[in-house]
Amino acid sequence: MWTSRAVALFFSLLLLSESTVASVGGYGLKIAEQPATNPSVPLSPDKQQLYQEGVKLYKEAQELQKKGTKEAYQQALGKYQQVLKIVQELGLRQEEALIYISIGTAYAIRSENLEAIEYFNKSLNISREVKQPLLEVLALTGIAGSYNFIGKGREALTLLKQAESISRTEKRFDILAIVLRNITNTYIELSEIPKTIEPLNQSLQIYRDILKDLPQQGKVLNTIGNSYSSMGQPKIALKYYQQALEIQQRRQDLLTDQAETLTDIGTLYNKSGEYNKALEYLNKAREIQQKQGLLVAEGLTIQSIAEVYKTRGDYQKSIEIRQQARVLLKKSGNTALEAINMTLTANIYKNFLGDNQKALEFVNEAIQLSKNIGYELTHANALNEKADIYALQGDLQKALEISSQALEIAISIKNRNLEARTLTNIASTYKLLGNYDLSIQTYKKARQIYQQAQDKQYELIILFAMSELYLTKGDYSEAINYYNQSVSLSRKQENNEFERLGLQGLARSYELQKDFTNALKNAETVLALSQKFEDKYSEASALNLIGIINQTKGNYKEALNYQQKALSLYRKIFVPKLEAQSLNNISVTHSLQKQHQQAIDTLNEELKIRRTLKDIQGEADALYSIAINQRKLGNLEAALPNIEEAIKIVENIRSNVKSQDLRTSYFATVQSYYKFKINLLMELHKKDPSKGYNAQALETSDRSRARGLVELLTEAGANIRKGANPELLAEESRLQALIDGKEKVRFEIVNSDKVKDPIFKANGEKLQTEIDELLNQQKQLETKIRQSSPKYANLKYPKPLTLPQIQQQLDKDTLLLQYSLGEDRSFLWVVSPTSLDTYELPKKSEIEKSAINLFCLISQNSSKPPSVTNKENPCADIKTPRIDKAAEELSKLVLAPVKGKLGKKRLVIVADGALQYIPFAAVADLTAQTPPQQVKEDKNQLENNPKDDRGIIVTPAIPASGKNFNYQPLFVNHEIVNLPSASAIAIQRQELSTRSSAGKKALAILADPVYTATDERLNSAGNKQLNKQDSLGIELERSALKRSADIVNRQGWTRLLGTRIEAETILKLVPDSDRLQVFDFAANYTWATSSALNQFRILHFATHGFVNDANPELSGIVLSLVDKQGKDIRGYLRLGDLFNLDYPADLIVLSACETGLGKEIQGEGLVGLTRGLMYAGAERLVVSLWQVDDKGTAVFMQEFYKQMLIEGKPANEALRATQLKMWKQEKWRNPNYWAAFTFLGEWR
C-alpha cells in the first residue's frame, strides 16, 4: 500500500519548499498559493488590472483544489483555463509555463495522466525557451510524476536525473531535496527499494544541515523507515519511524505528517502479527485525517486497517472496510487508487474466500477504471490478477490470453519489472499446460530482465522455478544444474530459505538418478541448516526426505528411524496433511518389509487424519493402500469394501487438479484403483465362481474406461458445450468454481495451526457448511442435466453398463472380447448374448512386448520409431523379425484360450493398453488349416527401402514368394470391429436414435492442406510470409504441434502430395453434384468446423492426423497452418475441438493418421480421438494406425469406396472385403497395406 501512496503523494512534495515563493522563476506550487502581485514583465495599467483578475481566479482555483473532491478539481480546472487565456493574451510566457504546471498537476491528481503530461510538456518547452532552469525542473518533475503513475518508471528516472543536475548547478538545495525524494518514489515504483536509501540520506542531510527544516526531516525519516520495512528490517524501520514521530508530535501544524507515520507504524505492527497495536496506531491516524478532511490519506489508512483484518482472518470485515475506503477514494476523484482498491478486494475474494466469480467482478471493474484514466500500470496489474483467477479455475488458455494483454502493456510502457513479473506468470501457466519447453523459454526471458536490473532476489525465484520445472520434466541433469545455480546465488544473497529449498531439490534429483550418496549428502546439509536456523518445518521436511532416500535405497531400518522423527516434528508444529503423508511413508516402509499388518495400522491412523481434514483424495488413497495390504495378507473379502469405497470417492470427485503433470499422476492413480479391483474380483472368482465376481470385474473394467474418458477430457481442457443446455453448463461451471475456491481456502485453514485461532476456525467451519450446500446444489444440477441433456450427461456423468445391459447390445453372430492388461496377469472376458466366459492371460509386459513387436514390423516403423522422449525406441529390439511369427506369437498370448470357441462370428474388440494400437485383423488365426511356412529370415526387411515424400516406405520388402506374409490373418474368418468400451456402443445407439439423419449428399473430402510458408503453392502465388508477432494462442498451438511431430518422429508437417491423388481417385466414383472437395489453403480449420459438413454422409480427411499416446490430449488432425499471405493461422483440430463439432455422418475416414507410442502405453490417444468423433455424431469410423505409402493408400481407398458406393456394402463389410482382396494378391499381401485401416463404431 505504501508504494501506491508514494505515487499519490508525488505532486504534493512540490508544495513543501517555502523558499520558492520568492520569485516567479522559483520552484514549487507555493507560488500558486501566493501569486506574485507584479508580473514577470512590466504591464500597462489596463493590462495590470486584467492580470489581477487572473491572480484572483488563480486563488479561487487553489481554494477549490483544497476541497479534494472530483467536482472541485473540475471547477478548478475551469478557472485555470480562464487564467491561461489571460496570461496568453498578456504575452506572459513565464506565467503561462506556471499555469500549465498547475493544470497538469490538477489532471495528475485526478489520475488523468496523459492530459497531465501534455500540459507539463508545454510548460517544459516554454521554460527552456525563456531560459528558466528552475521552471524546467518543475516541469521535468511533473512529467516524471505522471510517468510513474502510468508505469514508465525508467523514463521518469531519466527526467528526474536531469532535474537533479539542474538543481545542483543552480545550488537550489531546497529543490534538490525534493527531486531526490521523487527519485526515491520512482525507485519504489520500480521495486528497487535498496536504491532508495542513498537519495533519502542525501535529502535528510540537506534538510538537517543546510535548510534546518524540521518538518521535512520528519517526512524523510518516515520514508527511510518505509524502505527498511519493505526490505524486511522491521527493527531499523521502527527506529526511523519513532524519530519521525518525535519531530511531528512537537508541532500542531504537522498533524498530517504525524498521521502518515502512525499509519506506517500500524502497518509494520500488522506485518509482525501484533494486530491490536496495529489497529491502535491506524485508528489514531484515521482520526487525524478525518478531522482534517484528507480524503485520499484517510482512504489509504482505511485500506491498511482492512489489511489487518485480512491478516487476522476476518475477511468479510476486511471487505466491508475496503468498501469504506473506496467511497472516500471515489469522492476524492483519485480513480487510480480506487482501481487498486478494487484489485485488492478481488484478491481477498480469490485467495481467502474462494469466490472467484466475485473476484472477477471486482477485477473487471478495476480494469475498466484503469482504462478510463489511462493508468497502464494498474491496468496491467489488474489483468495479471484476472489471469490468475482464470488459471485457478483451470481455464489456462484464457489466463494466457489475459496475461498476453498485460505483457503488451508492460512492453509498451517499458516497465521491465512488470514485464518480468508477467513473463513469470505466463511461464507458470505454460507449465500447468504441460508445455515445458515454452515455459522454460519464458522463464529465461524473465531471468534475463532480472539479471539486467541486478535484481538477485527475483532472479533466485526464477532459477528455483526452472529447477523445479526440469525436475517435473524428468530432465534430472538440467534440474541439478539449475538447483546448483540457485544454491550458489542463495549463499551470495545470504538467503538461507532458498538455499535449503535448492539443496532439497538437489537431493530429490540425485535420488531419482539413483545417486544415493549425493542425495543423502544434500539432504543431510538441509537438515543441519534447518537445525541451525531453528526452522522446524524445514527440519521435518529434511528428515522425511532422508527417510525416503533410505527407503528407495532399501535401507528400511534407517528409513523408519528418520520417518518417525519427521512424524514427531510434524505433530509438534501441527501440519496435519504432512503428518498424514508421513504416516503414509511409514506404511510403505512397513509394506516393503512385508509387515502388512503394521502398514494397515499406520494407514488407519492416516485415514483418521484425512477424514478429519475432509481430504477426500487422501482418504481414497489411504483406503486403496489398506486394501493392497489386506490382499497381501490374503484377506480378500476385507479388501473389497475398501477398494470399492476408494473408487466411489474418486468417481464423485470433479477433478480440479490444474497442473498437467499432477493430472497425469492423478489419472494413473485412479486407473490403478480399477486395475486392483479387477484383480481382486478375479481372485475371488477363482475361489468361488458361483458368486458372479467375474461379471463384476467386467463391469469394473467398463467403469474404468468411462472414468478414463472423463479424466482425459479434463486433461485435454475440453470445454464441451455440445449437447447441453448453456444455462445449466454455466451453472455447472459456477458451482464447480465456488467449490474449488472455497475448498482450497478451507483446507489451508484446517491444515495449519490457524485452526487453533477462533476466528480462523469459525471461518473454516463456515466454509465447510457453504461447500456442503454447494455440493447438494451440484447433485441437484446433475439430475437436471441428465434429464435435459442426456448426451452430455453420458459423457460427463457416465453410468457404465451391467453385464445384462452389455449382452443386450450383442446379437447371436457377435462376440465381445474385452481385455484388461495387468502387472501380474491379464484377463479376457468373452461375452455373448447369453454367456460370459473369463480367461487369465499373461502379464501386461509380456503381451505388450509382443504387440509392439508386431506393430513395428507391420507399420514398417523400425527405422525411427516413436516414443515419449525420442531417446527410447520401442522398436529397437525386435525379437521376432518375421511378421508371420510375430502375428502368431501375439495370437497365442491373447487368443489361444478361445481359439476353438470363436467360430466365424463377428468379433467386437475392446482392447487395453498397447493392444488398442494393434489391428486384430492382422493377428494370426490359430484355427487355420495351413500353418505359416518357415522361410529364411530376410534382414533387408526393415532397412534400406526407398521412401516417398512423407518418409513412408514405398515398396515394403517382400521375401521370395511372399512367404513371410503367407499366414491366415484373423479377418479371413471374422469381421473385426473395434470399440473404445462396451458402453460406448450403447451410448452411441441411444444418441443416434435422436440424432438428425446424415446428409443427403454422398461425400466431402479434405486433402493436401498447406502446412508451411515455404510451400510452393504460396511462392507460386507471388506471396511472401508476413512479418508478424504470433499471438500466444498460435504460439501454443505450434508448440503442441511440434511436440506431436516429435512423438511421431517428424521434423515438422511435410506436404502429403499423395493425399491429393488419393482424393481425386475417390472422387471419380461420386457424381459432381453429390460431392465436395477442399484442397490447398481452403483445407483449413474454418472449413473443418463448418456446419456445411452436415450435408454429407461421408467425411474423408486425407491429411496428417496423429494419435499421441504419450500426451493423448494432443491427438488431432492437422489442417492448413498458413493462409494465402503466409500468415500463421489456427490449423490444429484437437481432441477438445472434436467434442464440440457437429458431424452427423454415417462414416468418417482418417486416412493419413499415424500413431506415436509412448514409454508407458495406455491407449488413451486413440480412445479420445475416436470417442470425440463419435460424440461429434459419426456413426462409424475408419482410422489408419500408421501412414501407408501413396500408391498403397490410393489402391486401398479406391477399392474401399468401390465396395461401399458401387457394391452397396456397409463400411465394416466394405473394409473387410477390401482387405481380403488385397491379401489375396501377392503384391499387396504385406499387412502394411491392408491392416493399417481399422473400423470402429456401429456394425449393424
Sheet bearing 826-831, strands edge to edge: 836-841, 826-831, 814-820, 906-910, 976-978, 1237-1241, 1180-1184, 1147-1150, 1096-1102, 1001-1009, 1075-1080
The span from the CA of 402 to the CA of 404, in Å, is 5
Q: Is residue 1115 within 8 Å of residue 1107, measured between CB atoms? A: yes
Residues 6 or more apart from 198 whose CB is under 8 A from it? none
Q: Mean pLDDT over residues 1190-1216, rounded? A: 92
pLDDT at 660 over 70: no
pLDDT at 1045: 55
pLDDT at 631: 97
The span from the CA of 149 to the CA of 1225, in Å, is 79
**Fold category of 334-453 in CATH:** 1.25.40
Q: Is residue 1221 within 8 Å of residue 1197, measured between CB atoms? A: no
Q: Where are the alpha helices (DSSP H) in 895-1031?
A: 982-992, 1016-1020
pLDDT at 1160 over 80: no
pLDDT at 178 over 70: yes
pLDDT at 1041 over 70: no
The span from the CA of 471 to the CA of 506, in Å, is 10
- Is the full-model pTM beyond 0.85? no
The span from the CA of 829 to the CA of 692, in Å, is 13
Best CA proximity match to 650, nearest among 679, 678, 619: 619
Is pLDDT larger for residue 1114 or for residue 1042?
1114
Q: Mean pLDDT over residues 456-482, rounded? A: 93
| Beta-bridge partner residues of 453 | none
Is pLDDT larger for residue 1062 or for residue 1?
1062
Is pLDDT larger for residue 114 or for residue 197?
197
Is pLDDT larger for residue 1112 or for residue 404?
404
Q: Residue 76, SS3?
A: helix
The span from the CA of 888 to the CA of 271, in Å, is 73
pLDDT at 570 over 50: yes
222, three cell numbers: 518516515
pLDDT at 820 over 50: yes
Q: Where are the alpha helices (DSSP H) in 91-213?
A: 93-109, 113-129, 133-149, 153-169, 173-189, 197-205
pLDDT at 1223 over 80: yes
Tens digits of per-residue pLDDT, 437-447?
899 999 999 99
Q: Mean pLDDT over residues 816-826, rounded? A: 95
pLDDT at 951 over 90: no
Burial 61-85 (b: 16+ CB within 10 A, else e): bbebbeebbeebbeebbebbeebbe
Q: Is residue 793 within 8 Å of residue 786, measured between CB atoms? A: yes
Q: Mean pLDDT over residues 1184-1211, rounded? A: 90
Phi, psi of 999 (to 5 degrees): -60, 165
Give the sign of the dihedral formed by CA 1131, CA 1135, CA 1141, CA 1145.
positive
pLDDT at 1162 over 90: no
Per DSSP, the residues of 379-438 read HHHHHHHHHHHHHHTT-HHHHHHHHHHHHHHHHHTT-HHHHHHHHHHHHHHHHHTT-HHH
DSSP 1043: H
pLDDT at 765 over 50: yes
Percent of the chain with pLDDT over 70: 85
Is pLDDT larger for residue 964 or for residue 404?
404
Tens digits of per-residue pLDDT, 528-540?
999 998 889 899 9
Tens digits of per-residue pLDDT, 745-763?
787 777 766 777 777 778 7
Q: How confident is the model at residue 878 (pLDDT cuts 50, 70, 90)?
A: low
Q: Mean pLDDT over residues 330-354, rounded? A: 89
The span from the CA of 733 to the CA of 371, in Å, is 29
| Burial grade of 993 (CB within 10 A; 0-12, 13-18, 19 or more) | exposed
Give the sign of the dihedral formed by CA 863, CA 865, CA 870, CA 874.
negative
Q: How confident is the model at residue 1048 (pLDDT cuts 50, 70, 90)?
A: low
pLDDT at 879 over 70: no
pLDDT at 29: 32
Ramachandran area for residue 624 (φ above 0: left; ψ -120 to 50: alpha; else beta): alpha
pLDDT at 714: 60
pLDDT at 962: 39
Q: How far is CA 8 from the centre of its chain?
A: 35
pLDDT at 842 over 70: yes
Q: Mean pLDDT over residues 1178-1186, rounded? A: 89
Burial 383-398 (b: 16+ CB within 10 A, else e): bbbbbbbbbbbbbbbb
The span from the CA of 295 to the CA of 330, in Å, is 9
pLDDT at 947 over 90: no
pLDDT at 392: 79
The span from the CA of 464 to the CA of 458, in Å, is 10
Domain extents for the chain?
A: 1-150, 334-453, 455-574, 803-978, 985-1188
The span from the CA of 597 to the CA of 611, in Å, is 21
pLDDT at 126: 96
pLDDT at 941: 35
Specify the range with the lowest mean pLDDT, choosing from 234-248, 297-311, 638-652, 1174-1188: 1174-1188
DSSP 1145: -
| Beta-bridge partner residues of 1099 | 1004, 1148
pLDDT at 481: 97
Phi, psi of 826 (to 5 degrees): -120, 170
Residues 6 or more apart from 762 whose CB is under 8 A from it? none
pLDDT at 262 over 90: yes
The span from the CA of 222 to the CA of 985, in Å, is 74
Q: How far is CA 10 from the centre of its chain?
A: 38
831, three cell numbers: 461375452
Specify the range with the lowest mean pLDDT, choosing from 449-453, 650-654, 972-976, 1118-1122: 650-654
| Burial grade of 291 (CB within 10 A; 0-12, 13-18, 19 or more) | exposed
Q: Residue 865, SS3?
A: coil
DSSP 934: P
pLDDT at 943: 36
Percent of the chain with pLDDT over 90: 52
Q: How many residues does the chain have?
A: 1244
pLDDT at 867 over 90: no
Of 107-121, 374-388, 1034-1048, 1119-1133, highest mean pLDDT: 374-388
Residue 911: CA count within 13 A, CB half-sphere: 25
Determine which helix (DSSP H) or strand (DSSP E) holds 1080, and give its type and residue range. Answer: strand 1075-1080
Q: CATH 1.10.10.920: does it fit domain 455-574? A: no
Q: How far apart are the first and last CA of the chain?
A: 70
The answer to whether 1-150 and 455-574 have equal CATH topology is: yes
Q: Mean pLDDT over residues 653-660, rounded? A: 54
Q: How confident is the model at residue 509 (pLDDT cuts 50, 70, 90)?
A: very high
Contacts 24+ apart (CB under 8 A), 287-295: 288/255, 288/256, 288/258, 288/259, 288/262, 289/256, 289/259, 291/255, 292/255, 292/256, 292/259, 293/67, 293/68, 294/68, 294/256, 294/259, 295/68, 295/69, 295/328, 295/329, 295/331, 295/332
800: amino acid identity, one letter = P
**Fold category of 1-150 in CATH:** 1.25.40
Best CA proximity match to 793, nearest among 713, 723, 735: 723
| Burial grade of 482 (CB within 10 A; 0-12, 13-18, 19 or more) | buried
Q: Mean pLDDT over residues 170-196, rounded? A: 90
pLDDT at 259: 94
Q: Is residue 91 within 8 Å of residue 40, measured between CB atoms? A: no
Rounded to the nearest integer, the mean pLDDT of the chain is 84
Phi, psi of 26 (to 5 degrees): -70, 180
Q: Is residue 1163 within 8 Å of residue 852, measured between CB atoms? A: no
